[in-house]
Amino acid sequence: MDNHQRSENNLFCRRLLFSVAVFATLYIGAVRPLRVCLNTQVVYPVFTRLAEERAEIFQPTNRTTEIVLKDSGATATFGIPFGSNFWIPFVLLFIARNWKIIRLLLYFNSALILMYPVLSLLTVWGQGWAIVLLNLLYYMDGGFSLIFLLLALRSAVLSLKKETAA
């Protein structure tokens, strides 16, 4: 390995370490506290006030709210998007400079921001069919998060190979 290849490899590693440090600090310092604040100060109080006698609202963690319908016992979880399921693939895609998939990831999480509250409110207001869609959305969120993570890992590996081969 000559000096050029070694410096390119070091460039990727430096970009990796710098990006992970910056985005981890951003997530721990701003995003996570904001999500906790939104869930504890906005989502949970609003849902408990609107639920009345149709549903019970629990808050098992600071980042999620659980809705249990009283008549059927069906449960669903409401979590605010742009959590770790977003940031880990985002950092890897940012390192790999794969802007197309970053855009898809942003669009997907933006759609979740619209769909989660609407379906959760419909569930709280007693629409039993909405809890099925809310649970489906929860599982789709997890599945797509894994897909985005695999695409991000692939992009990072291809980016590393491309930079070391040049």
Domain ranges of the chain: 3-165
Query: Considering the entire predicted model, what is its pTM?
Result: 0.83
Check residue 61 and give its pLDDT: 76
Per-position pLDDT tens, the chain of length 166: 556 555 555 787 888 899 999 999 999 999 999 999 998 898 888 888 888 777 888 887 777 888 888 888 888 888 888 888 899 999 999 999 999 999 999 999 999 999 999 999 998 887 889 999 999 999 999 999 999 999 999 999 998 888 777 6
The bridge status of strand 55-61 relative to strand 64-69 is antiparallel
H/E element holding 63? none
